[in-house]
Structure 1
Amino acid sequence: MTDDQQITNAVLVHGAFADGSGWRGVYENLTARGMRVTIAQIPLTSLADDVAATTRVLDLQDGPTVLVGHSWGGTVITEAGTHPKVAALVYVSALAPDSGETTAQQYEGFAPTPNFVIDVGDDGFGFLNWERFKVGFAADATDADAAFLRDSQVPINMSAFGVAVPHAAWRDKPSWAVIARDDQSFDQAMLTHMATRAGAEITYVSASHALFLTQPGAVSEVIATAAQNALVAS
């Protein structure tokens, strides 16, 4: 493989109830491999706002880029991934709606996740329930890390889940997926269905939904694989 076939840029997009700090391990792993990594901090106020924040970061990239999304970040990269600098998509236990579909539609027909409890305020923004946070979101994290995630969580405007994605980027660009086998936030069958439909190369990892934090090595390996193969695949 020649140097011009190796992507060196990656943009990481966090999901709902979190911010970009959880990507620290992945960031350090990929930068040690020589990649230029940028973390998009999305506001979680609407799909349009989150896509706009991601697009601003993509505009800064100096060449082909691997765009990575965790959880709700998968919906964001599905739309933002139409950006011309995006050469590959990586879904990390992430949502992947099709064109014209909403995030909420992805749950239809799949098993409920009773440990993943969202408390919604009068303003329509949701936080993960404090008591159920660790078991539902980050069961394999240390108690200290889970407490930090819980206490620093960012609420999401729940109306965002009802907004359709205009065009699914995975229809045009190669995709990879990392799926947590012990995910208590999403039904694993739902994650597998979305990733398979997107034609993604799937890697399964023994981890909770917070695998972006707890399994940085495995997640980084898939991102590196996408960087090495996306231009050839396309």
Structure 2
Amino acid sequence: MTSPTIVLVHGAFADAASFAPVTRMLLDRGFRVVVPAVPNRSLLGDSAYIRSVVEEIDGPVLLAGHSYGGAVITVAGAAENVVGLVYISGYALDEGESLGQLQGGFPDSDLASNLIYTPFPIEGAEPGTDVSVNVDAFPDIFAAGVDRDVAEVLAVSQRPLAALAFGEPAPVAAWKTKPGWGIVSSADRTINPDVERFGYQRAGLRGVIEIDAPHLVMRSHPAEVTAVITDAIAELG
């Protein structure tokens, strides 16, 4: 099989730059990499957008999704040219399940009490609600393990997630037909690590590793994340 293009899908409260260290390592090893900007407006809309990016790529694609990006690749991964999924501190939703439902089965993480809700205008409709992380809490909860100066920049440049995304059920679960791998961040304060473990076990992922790392594991442990991605490609042959 032709070596797949690696599409890195960021999560909520972050952007494509959250993958910068891993992106650099993959490029240095000669892989083709695409790191699209996720709109963070709705699970269905975001998944449709990422799927459209994937389907424009000639040849096979390995999708790697961080956090909310895991939910996105669960749906977008149904694209025919997707050959594998890598979940990085992510949500592996089941078909018909929403983020809120999966998270609701476990105790809240420290993030829950540090979320900010802000209305935003929608032309011709009622205002929507943006969800973001309290800027003061962001470095310790969302970006723990990242250099403080960098974390403070990430805090003020975060991409909010529309509240709509939390309640939308996944119309498909690509892990039912595509092989998958997973990384659990065992020191995660943004997603309860048990949410990650449960989703991965239910999905029957081929390989799951635990890293004693915070939520932004691809920032704090880029070499380990890169290794999971490249090992998945090697296993795919």
Q: TM-score, normalised by structure 1?
A: 0.93
Partner of 1:122: 119
Q: 1:26–1:212: 8 Å Cα contact kept in structure 2?
A: yes
Which residue in the other structure is 2:62 paired with?
66
Q: Is the 8 A contact 1:40 1:53 kept in 2?
A: no
Query: How far 1:230 sits from its partner (Å)?
Result: 2.5
35, 50, 57: which one aligns with 2:31: 35
Q: How does 1:203-218 map to 2 (within 5 A)?
A: 203-218=209-224
Q: Is the CA contact 1:78–1:96 (under 8 Å) kept in the aligned structure 2?
A: yes
- 2:81 aligns with one of 82, 85, 101: 85
Work out whether 1:22 is the aligned partner of 2:18.
yes
- Candidates 177, 191, 210, aligned match of 2:196: 191
In structure 1, give the amino acid aligned to 2:234: Q
Counterpart of 1:113? Answer: 109
Equivalent position of 2:98 in the other structure: 102
The equivalent residue for 1:47 is: 43
Answer with 107-116 or 30-39: which moved more: 107-116
CA root-mean-square deviation: 1.3
Question: 1:42–1:49: 8 Å Cα contact kept in structure 2?
Answer: no
Unmatched 5+ residue regions in structure 2? Answer: 121-128
Contact 1:7–1:66 (CA<8 Å) still a contact in 2?
Answer: no
Q: What is the deviation of 1:112?
A: 1.4
Gaps in structure 1 of 5+ consecutive residues: none
Task: Determine the structure 1 residue equivalent to 2:53.
Answer: 57
1:202 maps to 208
Aligned to 1:173: 178
Task: Give the length in aligned residue pairs.
Answer: 227
Give, in whole Å, the separation in 2 of the partners of 1:52 and 1:58: 10
Displacement of 1:47? 1.5
> Residue type matched to 1:193 in 2?
F
**1:115 to partner: Cα distance:** 4.2
Q: Deviations over 1:83-128 (max 9, x none)?
A: 0110000000001110011111111231211345210113410110
Deviation at 1:186, TM superposition (A): 1.1
Q: How far apart are the structure 2 equivalents of 1:196 and 1:131?
A: 34
Which of 206, 227, 231 aligns to 1:225? It is 231
| Structure 1 CA distance for aligned equivalents of residues 97 and 193 of structure 2 | 19
Distance in 1, Cα, partners of 2:87 & 2:14: 16
Cα contact 1:103–1:164 (8 A) shared by 2: yes
Per the TM alignment, residue 216 of structure 1 is displaced from its structure 2 partner at its CA by 1.2
Q: Distance in 2 between matches of 1:60 and 1:109?
A: 37
Of 150-159 and 117-126, more deviation after overlay is shown by 117-126
State the TM-score, normalizing by the size of structure 2: 0.92
Rounded to whole Å, the distance in 2 between the matches of 1:106 and 1:199 is 16
Between 74-83 and 109-118, the greater mean CA deviation after superposition? 109-118
Partners in 2 of 1:198 and 1:109 — Cα distance? 16
Aligned-residue identity in percent: 34
- DSSP-derived class of the 2:91 partner: coil
Partner of 1:141: 146
Give the Cα–Cα distance (whole angstroms) in 2 for the partners of residues 107 and 63 of structure 1: 35
1:22 & 1:188 partners in 2: Cα distance? Answer: 20
